[in-house]
Amino acid sequence: MTSILDVRSFRAMERSYSKLEAVRVVHLNLNQHIIEKLTKRRLIQGLKKQHKLYASIPFSVIIW
């Protein structure tokens, strides 16, 4: 037989777990976004080295 206390503590655990899960997902999305930005920057730097045309364009203009 489960007491009311057990159910309450289980619900509290469940809530805190779902909050943690949400935070983890946000972190993953942020990390993915940062990685994408870095790879794009590297791509642009590579292009700037190869082509004189790209070298004249500032970074802020080339944003996808």
Question: Does residue 25 belong to any structural domain of this protein?
Answer: no
User: Into how many domains does the chain fold?
Assistant: 1
State the Cα–Cα distance between residues 9 and 32, nearest whole angstrom: 35
Whole-angstrom distance, CA of residue 11 vs CA of residue 15 = 6
pLDDT tens sequence across 17-47: 666 666 666 666 666 776 777 777 777 777 6
Could you tell me if residue 62 is inside a domain? yes
For residue 24, tell me if it sits in a domain: no
- Residue 52 lies in domain: 30-64
CB neighbourhood size of 63 (10 A): 8
Whether the CA torsion 53, 55, 61, 62 is positive or negative: it is: positive
Please give the radius of gyration of the chain, using alpha carbons only, rounded to the nearest integer.
24
In a domain, 6, yes or no: no
State the pLDDT at residue 64: 43
